[in-house]
Structure 1
């Protein structure tokens, strides 16, 4: 379902939760709304679901206005499905009954599915791999199985738009990884438009076709995961997605940056960043773009913390440029707290080459 959000604002009492949001989502896209707690992402999802109406602006679905100031089409009259953070399963219904319920009551269910709901129930059970659990009650299911039931209930009537509000936040790390794959598979099978709210940047980067990064009720950037990561447009996006080190300095030309505060002058060449960051004399450097060694090249630093992460070692290093976060390959020589090291920017930057070619392909 194609969805257009036009100049939407939402005010609660004296608090403005959303500021003039404009967003166009194409039919069949998987869009993640990413941001910290309180940024307005759940408020936006509630407006899309029809639980609230905007204070200003309009929302269109497939060309029809479904929300405007103080007026909204209720959820049951929109061709949507919803997956909640808390699963929201009914304790008196088994798995099969959860899937049957929307087939009998959803307004947009096709006649053939209403006439033969058992066929669709079996299809959905197979999609979510719950065939052998069809008669289990919610209290007899694990967390991952409960989430599959919530997904099955949402997709059973074949909604054109599937809304998900942090559906994996209550699961452990391993289950979250498994469910990411299953949700991606659901998207391929159903072809529905998915709008997925999360505060987890890894989820958004791994699953979405496009990401909306929100902060303080505003959209900071709406782009592909690759562009969000490699070519952030604002300081907030650079810090929030991928935890970039923000280096202060001066731009000598369009692609040459000279950091402030080093004992000997340093120039980084072939750096491409957005103009908004250049205007602030900033250069975002991802943790994996620095290299650490005990050679004399680069600029000096002292290792403050070391965190082993399997394939990587995460260092925090005190330097002339401030405290830097650096990720190194675990197979390289490890350093310990207190070691004095040398730091260099890896050249050429893979990020910049990707950003350049990706930007060309999008134009």
Structure 2
């Protein structure tokens, strides 16, 4: 069955009313973007932040309507709040800092969480999501109420690593986080089809990230682990401004190119006033499963030396073992699937260090 055209989908959305203006969603200018490819539909509805609660029922109606169209395999509708036009610069001598849309002036998100930890890396490919997942599960195993938030909108990997394929339920206009492996988790990947490509502009990504923080019924948590996208971009800056962070854990591999990026990550968080809990050296060394011979494929000790140079704690070494890859692919974190594995022991030691650092 052929997929519908964007024009046909817009015509369908035009049957829904905008609660603010009474006009239909299309003529009211609510459609920020609409994309359809291979039967997968992605729509962003433009809203102001104060309209988000009133527009949530409309978002669900739009998602159900689009999902029911012939030729649509999956439909995802999000609310995206664009930054308001800044207020004019006040005359000299008047108070500053009250411009609309300034994230530093908006209420803090995740305010009920005891400690929010950012897991970051200066570059991709260093195993940051593997570290975030196993750290969160290990913290939960230590008796803490733990949340795990996948902030990588473009490349969500937590659904695969946690073995989750179901969509979260919605209750009282809020998503319920998925309960798995002793923690509560949410990811844009729980909502979209696995092969969906997020072809979104920056404001849309920030809107989706904010929804994952404030439109999810997280409840009272001791710790929230946030798996950030790699780099030092909008997501990292927005998080630092909108969330009171207990600190950041920087993940690197031992080689110089990764350490240079990790150094930038440390400097970025320090610039915005976020404490560095420490550096983790992932893929620190490889042990042959047959003979036990140790090989330092990417070098060794670089993160420890870099932590000492920067004056931040070194949180440990995670070995490169086949069991880590196998457990991630199977959707069972290695601290659960093989607690006796040396990598699992390293993750447990990391969790103990992080728990001590945040005082929980």
Of Structure 1 and Structure 2, the greater strand share is in: 1
With normalisation by structure 2, the TM-score equals 0.28
